[in-house]
A and B are shown apart, each in its own frame.
Chain A
Amino acid sequence: MAELPEIFRVMAYVGGIMAFVGLNAAFLVWMERKVAGHIQRRIGPKEVGPFGILQSLADGIKLMSKQLVVPAKADPILYRVAPALTMITAVMVFVVIPFGPALVARDINIGLLLIFAIASVNVLALLIGGWGSNNKYSVISATRAVSQNVAYEVPMLITVVTMVMIVGSMNLNEIVGQQGNLLQWYIFPWNGSILLPVAFVIFFICSLAETNRAPFDLGEAESELVAGFHTEYGGMGFGLFFLGEYGHVFVGCALASILFLGGWQCPFGWMPGVHWMMIKTYLLIFVVMWIRWTYPRTTLYGLLNLSWKVMVPFSLAVLLVTAAMLKVF
């Protein structure tokens, strides 16, 4: 598509990504409810459309038709900016995700770095949303979310540095390109470092914590903090937080499949393409949902202990062992 004029290219991708983020969130809401339903011996949504697939559309229309209320003592600017900011970061990280060999908005050399740089801004959205809505529960939740994200970005980035050392590139398409078939996936210990499976587990747990998903959903611990940072949000303000969260969940799982599971490459070497990327990502998302509906929530201190006392030492060990192996072999 490189022959298209730049302006059309940008517009096509902006439209495409926005549509994808919206549809993806709608699908994931439906999928989450269906998965939860079947795990809990019930059916889940079934009335709206075939298998209830239009349920999230109905929910979306309901959310959009609601009045946007700003609480009387909230900070009106921060209160309005926060949901938009979480959505902006969710949309922007999609720019460098390679869905297929040619299906990537911007194939740039520092793609991996860019994703983490932008995704970190999401924490700011939670912080100002919690702060701006002038609610004690929201403030507690916002501080929790920040300390949680700081704690989990450290082991996550150490793992990513390990991967960059093995691959030798931060270009996501190049990382995928090196994993031609099942045996070359970076999840397996013979591809550079014997500790690669450990690195995958660390990365996956950290991405759960990064996206505020159970069992690390301390930011919106509904039995303690009512609804956490979005307690005061209604209508589409809440809707954007919701869309943003599912966008980040998708990006987290997409990154895991790009780094460790060969992205759009086929495990058997035939017909690589966007469908493989989708299959792998949605399988990982299914695992995320499975975890959510099985485990209860940890406490903030349990989570911080897990990060600083277990994840950071382990990820450093992975880094050192990998560096040594790369030097020796």
Chain B
Amino acid sequence: MSEWAADPSYETFVLNMGPQHPATHGALRVKLRMDGEYIVEAEPVLGYIHRMHEKMGENRTYLQFMPNTGRLDYLSALSYNHGYVSAVERAAGITVPERAEYLRVITVELNRISSHLLWVGAFVLDLGGFTPLLYAMDDREQILDLLERVTGSRLTYCYFRFGGLYNDVDDDFEAGARAIVKRMRDKLPMYHNLISKNIILRQRLEGVGPITGEMCRKYGATGPVARGSGIPYDVRRHEPYSVYPELDFDIPVYEQGDSMARYLVRMDEIEQSLRIIEQGLDKMPDGPVMAEKVPKIIKPPKGDYYFAVEAARGSFGVRLVSDGTNTPYRLKLRSPCFSNVSLFGEAARGMLLADAVAMFGSLDLVIPDIDR
């Protein structure tokens, strides 16, 4: 801190943002040391909804832990399902039929769109605009309806199984998915007209809350936060998994590092996800959705395994240490939100409260993902 702050006549006060505050979207507490409306220090205080997911993983069989993965980042639960089943499959040496992998990718991308849509609405709500939230919810609803038909649930999915899927999609799925692609393509210009071109929003987002690529590297930030700061890192491209290498899509990257860049990255990602879904539907082969020889009780050989996927908020990694029994010896879940929230303290220094709220929203934090 600079010398003027060490001056005893310099008065600051502590403002508790949370654990119950509209801007933190959950039970997260941010301790702010304020100079008037300027933030001198910001310190996220975590742990209000810690549920010991990692410890639970050590005491449950591999399949029993499966539903827990949908409760970390409940907005992109399918990505988390995907990361976990793939880690276990890698450990146990199970190969997945191609149709199942395509369906995994398609449903994960649908889930990513619904997650980004909810984020857009909540983000503009943080900035005081209420209406886009309901438009986004309306579009998200279509995706949830479709996923509900396929997976049986609307939010905390548990659709994937070791070696494939719980069940195949019905006959209407392809038509429904294509209808959603068309609907979203039609709707995206509306979002851009309402949000991206809005002069008040541009004033509030452009140049506000800069996060440098250096800062992202220091704190391990991934996903749209890193891509909005000029780091073109996407697990789907850089550590390819599933059928992503066979699909053609771009990784949107913006250099500015401000809140607007993070917003634009996510809007562009919706478009790219639509492309992935279309290609996936075109290329999806017929066949089984479950591998033939999957043991009833999974006992991976001794070893240390890691698998990372690109969830809606960044890189989600599962580290699995197996001792050869039917429960893992250690299950480490690397969640993107934990890394992304940790840079808030440094990035918010010297910002106005209102701008810090905008920047906080642009990080797209899901609190249960921070406190696993």
Contact = CB atoms under 8 A, between A and B. Distances in A.
Interface of A: 36, 39-42, 136-137, 140, 214-215, 217, 221-224, 226, 293-302
A300 B354 contact: yes
B131 A297 contact: no
B82 to A, nearest CB: 32
B163 to A, nearest CB: 43
Contacts of A294: 129, 131
B109 to A, nearest CB: 25
B200 A226 contact: no
A36 B130 contact: yes
A36 B131 CA distance: 8
A20 B203 CA distance: 40
Contacts of B201: 296
Contacts of B15: 136-137
A280 B353 CA distance: 39
Given A223-B357, A302-B203, A297 B128 contact: yes
B124 interface: yes
Nearest to B125: A223
A231 to B, nearest CB: 11
Given A140-B37, A296-B198, A301-B352, A224 B23 contact: yes
Interface in B54-80: none
Contacts of B198: 295-296
Interface residues of B, number: 28
Nearest to A227: B22
Nearest to B16: A136
Given A40-B134, A40-B135, A214-B128, A224 B204 contact: no
A40 B201 CA distance: 19
B126 interface: yes
B353 to A, nearest CB: 6
Nearest to B133: A40
B148 interface: no
B174 interface: no
Contacts of A293: 130-131
B235 interface: no
The 4 closest A-B pairs by CB, nearest first: A297-B128, A296-B129, A40-B134, A296-B127
A174 to B, nearest CB: 38
Interface in B97-128: 124-128
Given A223-B125, A298-B200, A140 B131 contact: no
Given A221-B354, A297-B128, A302-B203, 10 more contacts: A40-B131, A41-B135, A222-B128, A224-B23, A224-B353, A293-B130, A293-B131, A294-B129, A296-B198, A297-B200
A298 B126 CA distance: 12
A297 B198 CA distance: 11
B138 interface: yes
Contacts of B357: 223-224
Nearest to B360: A223
Interface of B: 13, 15, 21-23, 37, 124-131, 134-135, 138, 198, 200-201, 203-204, 352-355, 357, 361
Contacts of A301: 352
Contacts of A137: 15
B127 A41 contact: no
Contact of A223 (B126, B135, B203): B126
Contacts of A217: 128
Nearest to A144: B37
Of A223, A226, A293, most buried by chain B (CB within 10 Å of CB) is A223
Given A295-B200, A298-B204, A223 B128 contact: yes
A276 to B, nearest CB: 31
Looking at chain A's contact residues, is the secondary structure mostly helix, strand, loop, or mixed?
loop
A298 B203 contact: yes
Contacts of A298: 200, 203-204
A131 to B, nearest CB: 15
Given A226-B22, A296-B124, A296-B201, A41 B138 contact: yes
B205 to A, nearest CB: 10
Contacts of B126: 223
A224 B125 CA distance: 11
Contact of A136 (B13, B127, B204, B354): B13
Nearest to A292: B130
B224 to A, nearest CB: 20
B204 A299 contact: yes
Contacts of B128: 214-215, 217, 221-223, 296-297
B37 A300 contact: yes
Contacts of B134: 40-42
20 contacts: A40-B130, A40-B134, A41-B135, A136-B13, A136-B15, A140-B37, A222-B128, A224-B23, A224-B354, A226-B22, A295-B198, A295-B200, A296-B204, A298-B200, A299-B204, A299-B352, A300-B37, A300-B354, A302-B200, A302-B204
A310 to B, nearest CB: 13
Contact of A215 (B13, B135, B138, B200): B200
Contacts of A40: 130-131, 134-135
A301 B36 CA distance: 13
Contacts of B125: 223
A43 to B, nearest CB: 12
A298 B130 CA distance: 14
Nearest to B361: A223
Of B13, B128, B135, most buried by chain A (CB within 10 Å of CB) is B128
A298 B124 CA distance: 12
A217 B138 CA distance: 26
Nearest to B128: A297
B80 to A, nearest CB: 27
Nearest to A218: B354
Of A226, A295, A296, most buried by chain B (CB within 10 Å of CB) is A296
A294 B135 CA distance: 12
